[in-house]
Amino acid sequence: MEVRVTEDLAACLALRRTVFIEEQGVPEADEVDDLDGQAVHLLALVDGVPMGSARLLRSGETGKIGRVCVLAAARGTGLGVALMEKALAVLAEDRALQRAKLGAQTHAMGFYERLGFVAEGAEYLDAGIPHRDMVRSLR
């Protein structure tokens, strides 16, 4: 498996469509936004086949990890952990960033907690799915 920074936005969008729109029922208008053009995109591959993606945005001292998705066939294989570790490593390269933040679907909070993230704030709905913000230090 390999996780790398990519310019292949089409592959990332195809993965997001499969996981968020088709599998989770997120409306396309909620999944596709105008932030993709300013984001750094990560692509996770297994034997050269795209199986997961994430996008990274910067805001002040915070790096935001979003649109994290792994196809069902690759879940439980360590691909999600590899994707998140790469995301954290890329954000940490920017010395101005002090923390990473993400909006976790509540069912996935344990996954992010194992990576050092801590929940903050109240639960909220994003595209009709319960989420909580989670943060961790990059330093």
pLDDT at residue 32 greater than cutoff 90: no
Give CA–CA dist 21/13, Å, rounded: 10
pLDDT, tens digit, 9 for 90 and up, residues 45-76: 999 999 999 999 999 999 999 999 999 999 99
- 130 closest CA partner among 28, 24, 32, 34: 24
Please indicate, yes or no, whether the overall pTM of this predicted structure exceeds 0.85.
Answer: yes
92-128: pLDDT as tens digits: 999 999 999 999 999 999 999 999 999 999 999 999 9
